[in-house]
Structure 1
Amino acid sequence: MAVEPQEVPGSVPERTTGARRDPARRRAWTVLALLVCLVIVNYADKVVVGLAGVDMKEDLGLSDAEFGVIQSSFFWLFALGSVVGGWLGGKVRARWLLAGLGALWAISLAPVAAQAGFTTIVACRVLLGFAEGPTTAIAMQVTHSWFPAHRRALPSSIVVAGAGIGPLIASPVLTWVILEYSWRAAFGVLAVTGVVVTAMWLIGGDSGPEDTTAGHGRAAGHDHGAGSTAPALPERVPLRRLFSTGTIIGMAVLFFVAYANTSVKVSWLPLYLREGLGYDATTAGRLVALPYLFAAIAVLVVGAVSTVMTRRGISGRVTRGLLPAVLVLSSGVCTIAFSSLDRGVPQMVLLVLGSCLNSAGYGVLFAGLADVAPAAQRGVVFGIITAIYSLGAVVAPIVIGNFIDSSASVAAGYGSGFLVLGITTIVGAAVALPLINPGRDIAKLAARA
C-alpha cells in the first residue's frame, strides 16, 4: 500500500493535484461521449441501406447481385480512406480532421435522399466509405490520448459500443421513417443528423494530453498496462518490423474475419429477416436491433473484464489475445448453428449470441494494438489495420448476394452464405490465436531499438 507523502514547504498537496486532475478527467469523458456520438452516426449510415433494401430493390428494379454491389461499394475505398486518415491523424488536429470527415458524410448522403439512381448511389456509397473509413482508427487514437494504457480497454470498448448503439437506434427509427415516408427520407434524416453531430464535435471535441500529433500536446510514455514489466518501446519502429510481429498479424487476421461477419450483419440481416425468414417490415426493424443491443452490452462487459484481468496481473496474451479469439471463434460456431435452423426463438437466440460474441472483443483488440504500437505511430497502425479488415467487408456482401441469386430459393441462399461465413470465422480465429502475444513482441521490438 502506498504511503501518503508528507507535505513540505513549497510542495503541492496531493489533494490539490487531484483537484487539478478532475477537470481533465471530466473533459476526457466528455470527449469520449462525443466520439461515441460520431461512431453511432457512422454505423447508422452503414445500416440504412440494409433497412431500406427491400424498397430500394423494388423501386430501382435491382437484382440481389446488384444490391450486393451497392452494399459492397461502401467498402471499395474504405481501406484507402483508413490509410489516408491514419496518416493525417499524425499531422492534422483531430478536432478539424473528424469535423471534415463528418461534413463529407452529410455530402455523400444528400444526393441519395433526392432522385439518385443505381450508379449515383454506388458513387455516393463509395465516397461515404472513404470518409467513414478512418473514423474508428482516429476515434481510438483520440481516446488513447485521453487515457493511460492500463485504463484504455474500457474506454476503447465504449467507443466500439457506439457501433452497436447506432444501428440499435437507427433500426426502429429509420424503419418508421421508411414506412411512413420513403426510403429516401431515411437518407435525408441521416444527412441532417451527421451535420448536427459534427457541429457538436467541432465545439467540444479534441485530442488529449497524451496526443502525439505534431505540435499538439505531449507524447505519451511507453506504458503497456498497469503493473507491466515490459520494456519501453522505442519512439518509432519501422512499419515493416511492426507488421511482421505475430501480435499485429494475428490481430489483423482476427479483425478481418470478425469484420466480414459484421459487414454481412449490417448489409443483409434486415433483408434476411424479411425475405429469408418472412418477417414483416416492422417486426424485422425491431428484431434487427436485438443483435446490436446485446453486442453493445457485450463490448462493455468484455472491456471491463479485460481491465480487471489486466489489473490483476494477467498477461496480455490472455487479455488481448485469448479472450477476443475465443469470442470470435464461438461466434463462428453460432453462425453455423443458426444457419441450419428454421425460423423461431432458438434460431434468433443463436443469431443474437453470435453477433454479440463477434463484436465483443473489438475494443480489447484495439487496446492490444496500442500496447504494441509506439504512441507516435498508433494512428498509422490503426489506419492500416482498419484498411486490412475492411477488405473482408468488400468481399462478404457480394458473396452473400451471389449465393442468394444462384440458389434454388432465397432461404437456401442465405443458409449457404451464413454457413460459409461461420466456417471462415472459425478458421480465422484459430489462425490468430497462437500468434497474439503482446509481451513477447514488445520485448522483441525494444531489444532491436
Structure 2
Amino acid sequence: MAVEQQEASAPEPGGTASGRAAPVRRRAWTVLALLVCLMLVNYADKVVVGLAGVGMKEELGLTDAEFGVIQSSFFWLFAVGSVLGGWLGGKVRARWLLAIIASLWALSLAPMAAQVGFTTIVACRVLLGFAEGPTTALAMQVAHSWFPAHQRAVPSSIVVAGAGIGPLIAAPALTWVILTHSWHAAFGVLAICGAVVTVAWLIGGDSGPEDTRGGGHGPAGAAALPERVPLRRLFSTGTLIGMSLLFFVAYANTSVKVSWLPLYLREGLGYDAITAGRLVALPYLGSAVAVILVGVASAALTRRGVGGRLTRGILPGAMVLASGVCTIAFSSLDRGVPQMVLLVLSSCLNSAGYGVAFAGLADVVPAKQRGVVFGIVTGIYSLGGVVAPLVVGRLVSAGESVALGYGDGFLVLGVTMIVGALAALLLVNPARDAAKLTAERTAG
C-alpha cells in the first residue's frame, strides 16, 4: 500500500489525511516533470553527434570507421558510470547526485563549442557517457519512490517518454543551429541547457516517501519482498536475466538510431540535411507517444488483475521482437514511404516497452536495492551501445556501397533483437520470481 494510502488510514492531529495526500501527489508529478526534463536533455546530448556527423567528418576528415569510434566512445565508461551511480544512489541524496551528474553533462559539452580534434572529441564523449550512464536508472529509482508498485507503469513510461521527446525537439532545432551557425554552436546550446536543467532540479527535485520503505511490493496482491536479497541471487532470477538480455538488444537498436540514423538518411538514402533533420524526429515522436500508451495499457491490465508476466514481461518482449522484424524489413526496402513507416514502427515498438519493463524489474527488486540493481542492469545493456555503433560503422565501411553497408548493419541488428527478445519471453516472470524470493527469505 502506498504511503499516501497509509496516511489516509491513520490521520493525525492538525490536518486531514486527504489534505496531506494531495500535496504529496502534486509534488510527485512535479518531480516527474523534472525527471522528464532531465531525460529530454540527456537524449538530446546523445543525438547531437549524429546530427553534426556530416560536418564533423568533413571538417576533421574522419572515415566511417573513425566516426564509429566517436559514437562508440560515448559508451566506453557508460557501464562504469551506471554501476557507480547506482551504488551512490543508495548513499547520496537524489537531489545532489542528479545535479552533479547533469552538471557533468554541461562540462563535457562545453569544449565542443570551440575547435577540437579527434582525441578531444573522444575524451568529451567518454566523460559524457560516464555521466549519463546512471541517469535512466536513477530517474526510475526516484520516480518509483513517489508511486506505489501498482501505479508505477505510467510514471515509468512517462520518464522513458522524455528520451523520445529530447531528440524530437533536438533534431529539427539543432539541425537549424548547425546549418545557420555551425555544429560547434549546437554543442554550446546543449551545454547551456544542461546548466539550466541542473538548477531546475536543485530547486524542485528529490526522492519521495516510498524511498523510505524497507522492502518492496509487487503488483496488487503480491507478497512483500524482503528488505534485502543477495545480488547474486537477484541476478540468477529469470526476470533479471531476461530483462538484461531484452534491454541489451533494445539499447543496441536505440544506440544505432542515435548514432547512425541521421547519417543513414543523408548518406545512405540521399535526403538533404533539412529533410533528414525532420525525418529523424519522426521515430522519436512515435516512440514518445507509444511508450505512454503502452504504460497506460499495462496499468489498466494490472488494475483488472492481469498478472505481471503478461503486462511487464511478455508485453515488452513481444514488442522488441516485432521491432526486430520491422528493422529487418526496412533494411531491405528502397527509400520511400513504406520504408519510413517500417523504420518509425521499429523505433516505436522498441522504445514502448522500456517503462513497463523497468516496472517489472521493480516488482522483483527490494526498494533499498533498486538503485544499485538498476545501475548494474543499465551497465549491462549499455554494452549494446558499445558494440552496435562499432559494428554498423565497420559494415558501412566494408559494404559494396554506403547504402548496402547500412542495409547489412540493420539486418544484423534486427536478427540480434529477435534472438534477445525470444530469450526474454521465455525467462521473464516477475510474479514467480518475487514469490520465490519471499518464500526463500521466509524459510531462511
Q: Which residue in the other structure is 2:133 paired with?
A: 133
Q: Which residue in the other structure is 1:439 paired with?
A: 431
Does residue 255 (structure 1) correspond to residue 251 (structure 2)? The answer is no
SS at match of 2:410: helix
Alpha-carbon displacement from aligned partner over 1:177-217 (angstroms, at most 9, x marks no partner): 00000000000000000000110000110110111xxxxxx
Alpha-carbon contact 2:215-2:227 (below 8 Å) kept: no
> 1:272 offset after TM fit, Å?
0.3
> Structure 2 CA distance, aligned partners of 1:167 and 1:398?
21
> 1:222 offset after TM fit, Å?
2.5
Q: Which residue in the other structure is 2:58 paired with?
A: 58
Alpha-carbon contact 1:210-1:220 (below 8 Å) kept: no
Alpha-carbon contact 1:322-1:433 (below 8 Å) kept: yes
Q: Which residue in the other structure is 1:223 paired with?
A: 217
Q: Which residue in the other structure is 1:182 paired with?
A: 182
Given the alignment, which residue of 393, 400, 408 partners 2:400? 408
> Structure 1 CA distance, aligned partners of 2:26 and 2:129?
32
SS at match of 1:210: helix
Q: Which residue in the other structure is 2:315 paired with?
A: 323
Alpha-carbon contact 1:246-1:435 (below 8 Å) kept: yes
TM-score under structure 2 length normalisation: 0.96
> Structure 2 CA distance, aligned partners of 1:220 and 1:28?
20
> 1:305 offset after TM fit, Å?
0.4
> Structure 1 CA distance, aligned partners of 2:367 and 2:215?
8
Q: Which residue in the other structure is 2:344 paired with?
A: 352
Q: Which residue in the other structure is 2:150 paired with?
A: 150
Alpha-carbon contact 2:215-2:226 (below 8 Å) kept: no
Q: Which residue in the other structure is 2:237 paired with?
A: 245
Q: Which residue in the other structure is 1:39 paired with?
A: 39
Matching of residues 22-421 of structure 1 within 5 Å: 22-211=22-211, 218-219=212-213, 221-226=215-220, 228=221, 230-421=222-413
> 1:233 offset after TM fit, Å?
1.2
> 1:439 offset after TM fit, Å?
1.1
> Structure 2 CA distance, aligned partners of 1:107 and 1:11?
47
> Structure 2 CA distance, aligned partners of 1:11 and 1:348?
56
**Would you say how many aligned residue pairs link Structure 1 and Structure 2?**
431
Paired AA for residue 88 in structure 2: L
> 1:116 offset after TM fit, Å?
1.3
The 4+ residue runs of structure 1 with deviation greater than 6 A are 10-13
Q: Which residue in the other structure is 1:4 paired with?
A: none
Paired AA for residue 376 in structure 2: I
> Structure 2 CA distance, aligned partners of 1:140 and 1:261?
21
Alpha-carbon displacement from aligned partner over 1:270-306 (angstroms, at most 9, x marks no partner): 0000000000000000000000000000000000000
Paired AA for residue 265 in structure 2: L
> Structure 2 CA distance, aligned partners of 1:200 and 1:181?
28
Alpha-carbon displacement from aligned partner over 1:331-377 (angstroms, at most 9, x marks no partner): 00000000000000000000000000000000001001110000100
Q: Which residue in the other structure is 1:3 paired with?
A: none
Alpha-carbon contact 1:174-1:186 (below 8 Å) kept: yes
Is the helix fraction higher in 1 or 2? 2
Q: Which residue in the other structure is 1:19 paired with?
A: 19
> 1:221 offset after TM fit, Å?
5.0
> Structure 2 CA distance, aligned partners of 1:438 and 1:431?
15
Where does the alignment leave 5 or more consecutive residues of structure 1 unmatched?
A: 1-9, 212-217
Alpha-carbon displacement from aligned partner over 1:101-124 (angstroms, at most 9, x marks no partner): 011101100111111110000000
Paired AA for residue 152 in structure 1: R
Q: Which residue in the other structure is 2:418 paired with?
A: 426
Alpha-carbon displacement from aligned partner over 1:109-168 (angstroms, at most 9, x marks no partner): 011111111000000000000000000000000000000000000000000000000000
> 1:11 offset after TM fit, Å?
6.8
TM-score under structure 1 length normalisation: 0.95
Paired AA for residue 219 in structure 2: G
Alpha-carbon displacement from aligned partner over 1:228-261 (angstroms, at most 9, x marks no partner): 2x32211000000000000110000000000001
Paired AA for residue 442 in structure 1: A
**In percent, how many aligned pairs have the same letter?**
77
